[in-house]
Each structure stands twice: as structure tokens, then as C-alpha cells.
Structure 1
Amino acid sequence: MTVEPSNSTLQTLVEIAVSSVSTLESIYQAHGASFPSLDLIATVCPPNKHHTNLDGGGMYVSAGLQYIVETSIPDIMKEGDPKVMHVDEIASKINVPTEANGLARVLRFLATHHIFREVTPNVFAHNRTSSMFCKAKTLKEIRDDPVTQYNGLTSTANLGHCLDEGLRSAAHLSAWLQAPKGSIRVSPFLAAFKVDDIWRWFEQPGNELRRNRFGSLMSNTQWEAEIFTYAIRWDLFPETSTVVDVGESLRTVSMTLARKFSHLKYIIQDLPQVIDGDAGTRKFWAKEYPEFVQSGKVQFQPHDFFRPNPVNSPDVFIMRAILHD
């Protein structure tokens, strides 16, 4: 069980830290030894305990986080009593059958890692860390439209992706690295999900939530588009200049540039379903900047960036958030 520190407990903690440093220095000086390199927690943690944290505990934190995010427990607690909620009440509001005792053990384990607080036995509350796992939508909106539950400016899309696709891929990393060349797929992800192309996999029926979540995380985890307006002296380019934005999706770098440097021409490239889908790039531009679309100064070009680019000599290629692919 965790408790909120008071001023007196904080002062006590400082005093313990200071006295412990003095004790450690005295011991090392008495033995004529120099203090080892300061590797944060690993320095003060016994090696066997540190190994346990590395090879065992970490995966359970990830598994616990995956459970609470996928069942929207932070959102349930956000809309309940503003201070505390009993596990029985939380369990009754989860959209899948849940055993309260098991839920309590998960939340208690996370609380020992400073995610949630157990204020009294089986009664939990948010803290700063756990509140970051709340989604932007209300619980009703999440239930009414699960596919878009990760939409909005929060970190949950990235967390959900890493704990689903990422965690399963990580489990295949060692086998993938040790496999004879050519005997296994080209990445741990493709080996884990037994597919040959992540983008086509995202488009398969049943992956609507994952596809939408990935699009949301790509939109939410990038730098502000405005920084690109002063990255290059765009004002020095003549009116015949062309900017090709590769893998633009719905991100707004080109639109931000177009609003400020309307003398340039822009070509937006992405996969066909991204360009012309129901909520695709073409419709996004038509809604947000219709006059630029009507003027013909922006073009939309279906393109797979793993293939040779059909534009041979533009003035600028923008390749933001795609080189890692």
C-alpha cells in the first residue's frame, strides 16, 4: 500500500539519504576502495535483486499496464469518485467478466511501482502516473465506438500499441536474432504475427482498432508541425518549387507549410487507402484547406515508400517519422 508523503516524511527521507551517503563513503574509505560508477538504481540494489527486476518483474508491469489500458480501468476511476474507488465497484464497471480479487492484485502490484495508490485495503485512487493512462474520450464514448477509443491527444495510443504489437514482437526478438539467415521473417514483428507486411496486416479485417490506434499514436507523438516552418528558409524558394511529403498521412506538416508559404506546390504521398479512405488525406485537406486544393497547388499521390519514388526531382523531400520503417 502506498501513501502520499507529507512534508515531515519528505524531510525524513532527505535525512536518511544524506546519512546513508556518509555511511557508504566511510565504508569505502575504510577499505581503501573507490566508489563504483553511479548507475542509478543498479548501484544501490543488490545484483541478484537487480537481475530479478530485469528478467522477471518488468514483464509483469507491462502485462498489468496492458490489462488496465485495454479494459479502460483508468477511465472508470476517472469518472467515479474523484478520490477513491473500491475494486468491487471497478470490477462491476469493466466490460468483460472480472474477478475482483485478481483485479486487486494487479492494481496493488502496479501501486508498488508507483502506478495508482492503494489508500486502504482494496481501495485505489489515481496518482500522477496512472492519470496519464486515461483516454481522451468518456467511458460511454469508448464503449459506443471501441475502434476509435484511442483517438485524442493522450499517450494511451502509444502505450496500447507498445504493449500489444510491441510486447509480442519483443518476445520473438531472441529467436529472430538466432535464426539462420533466410529461415525466418525479416523482423521480430513479422515473425510474431506470422505476416509479411505490417501495413497490409493493419488493413486486414479485425485489425480496425489496431490500425486506428497506430494512426493516432503517429499523430500524437510527433513534434509540432510549426517547427518545420523555420527549419528551412522556405521563403527563398521560387514559386516553381515543389515539396514532396512522403508518408504524410493525416499529419499536418505540409498544411502548416502551405498556410505560411502558399507560393510553393505540394505533393502528398501515402498508401492508396490513406489518401482516399473515408477519413483520408484528400478529404482532410478538402475540409481544412479547400481553397488550396481547388487551386491545384496541392496534389495527392498514392505511393508505397518502399518502392522507387515517382517524383524524380522535387526541390524538397519531407520524410518525417518514416525513416525508422
Structure 2
Amino acid sequence: MTFSTLRALHAVIGAAIDDIELVYRERSDAQGSTLEYPSLDEPYYHHAAQHTPEEELAEELKADPAVAAATKRIVAACSQLSTTVNKPWFGLMEDMLWAQFSSAIRFLEAANIVEILREAGPNGLHVQEILRLVLELRTNSKTATPTDTVPLTPAHLSHILRLLATGHYLREVKPDVFTNNRPSSYIDSGKTVSQLREAPEKKYNDTNGIAAYVGVAGDESLKFMTTLVEWALPEKRRGTDTNFDYRAPPPAGGHDRSASTDSDSEGAVVTPRYVAPFHVAFNTQLNLFAWYELPENEGRLARFGHAMVGTRQCESKDEILRGFSWEDLPRGSVLVDVGGGIGAQAVVVANAHPHIRVVVEDRAQVVAGAREAWGPQYAHLFESGRMSWRVYDFFEAWPPLLLPGLGTVDAPDVFLLRGVLHDWTDENCKRQLLIGDMLLQHACADAAAYDTADGSAATFPFVTRDSPLLPNLGVANILGYITDLMMMDMFDAKERTVAEMTALTQSTGWKIIEVRRTPGAIWGYTTAVPV
């Protein structure tokens, strides 16, 4: 039946393209102009350029529910089709060696090449000039090594950028001449080369967080993801420090455990058990958040805060505003964003709903730099007191709030936990109030896979029974499953299936009553009430 499956996948792609074209054609008729789907070759700078109304609308329509759902089906079908027909050796080696591509994207961001090429314009720059500007920017960094010790040459640079262009990041317009395209422009911080030269440490301030997330994913995340085998199979470890035994999660506050070793009956030292691959990669007894607060990780901590702003891209634009009935809350209601970092989601709610007072809670070092990280964009929220921060360890008893104009708040109207539960094991999560998180679906058809979703969080149908696609849309949703493994690598934690989330909430006396999510998406906003 393989040929029938291949043709069915081909039909899925064609039908989805028809669905997308229909949306663009309808809006074209309404606007009186012809709208084309955005081109792969054309950059789209969200921060640094003015766009025509047609360009803005064409970009905006990519988030239309019908377009987004069709896009998911195309990505899922194309991946399943190519995996079916590709020579196994090629597919296997591409997947195994893809870290080379990830490292090249990290280099693209870290070297500020996207910003350099944006200023160069559509004709691009030769690698010699790109390298000159990269090295010039480095000389202004306090931590940069002398330029004459940098091994990078124009030849090296051309090969790195050519790999990216081959994978559809960047375009090689002439031999050794490169320019941005749509995927590379997505990484743009919006900063000018002059701004990067004068204050490189402020690259991520007042941005959408995407460049910062690339920095985190390519640096600490890529490093600890490579130690999965050494964590899971200790006998594979080579060259790691074995002077402590690490058999349990660090305390909630992330403080050091006493160093110790374990011995067998004859006194031989036993290989330590690390909680997660992160601890193997960085040979630390601290959890991730305490490790970020070490003096040598100051830059990483700031970047992580901005990267969490970038996680908005997991959802459709401002989806948090549709994830809960904020408008139904009475004036003077209080939202507490637990572990909210610099307030990536809270600021959206505060800006859209003036009747809600928002308080973001996090660790001291995060709170200390939170307001400055936003620049002047939301100064009116902070100065008016509509949005504020306080230091709080959410494993401790929740202390009442004292808010100007409202007095003492013994309990807020809403606790928001966005992207928090996936950082912790079930035992730690049971000590918290749940409001929202990611929900995964099985890669196989189960009893509820194709039922109609009724808002009870019991089912999440992505495809129909007769579809050749995986029930969870396969590669179209694989980011959620990659993130799942990343949570295991960092914290020995996880993203959760619907059944796991339901069991977790029920075990703590809460019942899920509603899940709001974009069709075909894994991310959703889950509302729970006391049983």
C-alpha cells in the first residue's frame, strides 16, 4: 500500500496549498490587490524596516487559523513523504550530523552576521567584508580575545555560510557573496551595527527574544543535549569529574548539596548519578536557575530572560489574551505570574487589560534586571504600578501582596504558570497551583485520538481517521517533543500528555475545566479549579 500512501500524502500537500491560496485570494479581493504568500528569498525584518500594507497583510495571514492549520499539514506530509522515499543512509546521517547546522545557526547569531547583512542590503556582502565587520565588533567586547588569535578566515566563513544557504538560511547571490533571506531575517535583533559596536551587552534589550533564544539553544542547550548517553548510561562517561554523588534533585532554591562519593563494600568509588544531562555537561551540583546566577554566567542569565520572551513564538500572536477570559475579571483584579522571569507574558495581559494589576514573581537576580530589560516600550505600565515584580521562591508558602491602592491581597484572582511546570518533576509540581502548560499527544492512534474536542482537555484531534499523517502531525509538531526531551536533559522533568496533566492536577485537588489552543497546536492554556 506504499504507493497509495505516497499519493495520499501528495494529495494532503496539494489540498493544503489550495486552502492557503483561498485565504490569500479572498483577502486580495477585499483589499483590491493581489496578495502572494511570502517568498523564501525575501527578508522580513520585524524591527528594522517599514513594510507596505500588502507585505504586512501577507505576513499577518500566515497566522490565520485556516492558513496555520494547512501549514501544519504540509510540513507533516512533506516530512513523512521525504522520510519514506529518502535513502536511509542519507536520512540517518543528516539527522545524526544536524548539530553541525545548529552550530552554524548559533554562529550566525553570535557573530551578528544577520544584522551586518541587513545593513548591507539585498546585494549582500563578500565573506572578506563580512569577516572584517565580525572581527571589528568583537574588539569592543570586554571578553574578546585579540583579533590575531582568532582562527577564522574568509575561507572558513564561506563554508559555514554556504551550509546555511544550502539549508535555506541565507542566500548566496554570487560566489562567496551572501545576503539575508526570510529565515535568517527572523533572527534579526533589530539593533544597528553601530548599536552593537557601542553596547554589545544590550543586543537583546527591547527585542522579541528570538535572537536570544537562538543564543541559549545553541550554547548551553546544545551542550547538555549532547550528554544524554553519558547521563543515561554512566559507563559511557569519559573524562567527567566523579568526585561527588548526585542522586536527588537539588533543593528547590537550587543551593549546593554537600559533595560526597559512594563506595561499594570494598571501598571502590561508584560512578555518580547525575539528575539530568545538564549536570553532566557542566559538571555542577546546582540546578539550572542557580547555575545561571553564578557570577561567570551573568551574561547567560540576562540572555535567558530575553529568550523567554522569544517563546511567545510557540503560540499565535498574543494567544495568552485568548487563553483565558481576562475581560470577565472585575476591575482591580490581580494576576500573579509565577516564575514569570522578566514578564514576557504578563506584560501582554497588563498592556491589553488596564483593569488588571499584574505582579511577576521570580528569583532575586531575575527581578533585579527585569524592568531595564524592557527599555522604554512599557514604561507606562511600570510607572503606573499596573505591572510590578517581587522576589519569591514559589516552593515556599505564598506571602500576601501589598499593592498601592489595593492594600493587602491575601490571594490573587489568577495564578499563571506559563512554561513553568515542565521545568519540574511531578513531585515538585504537586506543590504548586496549575494554570497552564504544553500538552503532548501520542504518536499513535489511541481510543480518544480522533474524537471531537469538547473543551474538557480529554482529546486533541489533529487529523481525521482516514489521513495518512501521524495523529500528532509528526514533524509539524516535533518542536514540542524536542522540548520535552530538553526538559528531561535540564531538569529530569518533562512536557506532559493530556492524561499525565489530568492525573497531576487531580492528584493535587484540581480539575481541568477548559483548554484553549489554536487548532493543530500543542501549546494551550489550561484552566483548573479546586475539586
Q: TM-score, normalised by structure 2?
A: 0.47
Q: 2:231 maps to what in 1?
A: 176
Query: Which amino acid in structure 2 is aligned with residue 220 of structure 1?
Result: G
Change (3 A) 1:130 1:178: same
Task: Pick which of 220-229 and 41-50 moved more.
Answer: 220-229
Question: What displacement does 1:147 show?
Answer: 1.9
The one-letter amino acid paired with 1:318 is L
Q: Specify the alignment match of 2:113 in structure 1.
A: 73
Q: Name the SS for the 2:360 alignment partner.
A: strand
Aligned residue number for residue 85 of structure 2: 44
**1:26 maps to what in 2?**
none
C-alpha distance in 2 between matches for 1:78 and 1:218: 25
Query: What's 2:451 paired with?
Result: none
8 A Cα contact 1:155 1:217, kept in partner: yes
Stretches of structure 2 that go unaligned for 5 or more consecutive residues are 1-6, 11-77, 136-146, 236-245, 248-271, 401-409, 424-531
| Alignment partner, residue 220 of structure 1 | 310
Instruction: Determine the structure 1 residue equivalent to 2:200.
Output: 146
- Give the alignment of 1:121-160 within 5 angstroms: 121-151=175-205, 152-153=207-208, 155-160=210-215
Equivalent in the alignment of 2:122 = 82
- Any idea what the Cα deviations from partners look like across 1:209-235, whole Å, max 9, x if unmatched? 222221112123225895545544456
Partner of 2:419: 321
Alignment check: 8 A CA contact 1:250 1:280 kept = no
- State the aligned residue count: 287
Deviation at 1:204, TM superposition (A): 2.1
Q: Is the 2:293–2:301 Cα contact (8 Å) retained in structure 1?
A: yes
SS at match of 1:207: helix
Whether contact under 8 Å (1:244, 1:268) holds in the other structure is yes
Deviates more, 1:133-142 or 1:159-168: 133-142
Q: How far apart are 1:237 and its partner, in Å? A: 5.1
Match of 1:103 among 113, 134, 157: 157
* Corresponding residue of 2:390: 301
Correspondence 1:162 to 2:217 = yes
Could you tell me which amino acid in structure 1 is paired with residue 182 of structure 2? Answer: R
Match for residue 94 of structure 1? 134
Q: Which moved more, 1:58-67 or 1:206-215?
A: 206-215
Residue deviations 1:249-275 (CA, integer Å, cap 9, x gap): 332654555566666665432112333
Give unpaired runs (5+ residues) of structure 1.
1-17, 22-36
Distance 1:118 1:241, change over 3 A: closer
Residue deviations 1:54-85, cap 9 Å, x none?
222x1111121222221112222222253122
Alignment match, 1:118:
172
Structure 1 pair 225–51 and aligned structure 2 pair: CA distance change class (3 A): closer
- Matched position secondary structure for 1:251: coil
RMSD: 3.6
d(CA) in 1 for partners of 2:101, 2:278 = 21
AA of the residue aligned to 1:66: R
1:248-263 alignment runs, 5 A limit: 248-251=340-343, 253-254=345-346, 257=349
Percent same amino acid among aligned pairs? 30
Shift of 1:167: 0.5
1:6 alignment counterpart:
none
What is the identity, as a one-letter code, of the residue corresponding to 1:174?
V
Is 1:192 aligned with 2:281? yes
Distance in structure 1 (CA, Å) of the matches to 2:123 and 2:358: 51
Cα distance in 1 for partners of 2:178, 2:358 equals: 52
DSSP-derived class of the 1:124 partner: strand
Superposed displacement of residue 172, structure 1: 0.9
**Are the aligned partners of 1:243 and 1:264 in contact in 2 as well (CA < 8 Å)?**
yes
SS, match of residue 174 in structure 1: helix
Give distance in 2, aligned partners of 1:120 and 1:141: 29
Cα distance in 2 between the residues matched to 1:202 and 1:72: 23
The Cα offsets for residues 38-63 of structure 1, whole Å up to 9 and x where unpaired, read as 8232112111111111222x111112
The answer to whether the 8 Å contact 1:116/1:124 transfers is: yes
* Structure whose residues are more often helix by fraction: 1
TM-score between both structures, scaled by the size of structure 1? 0.73
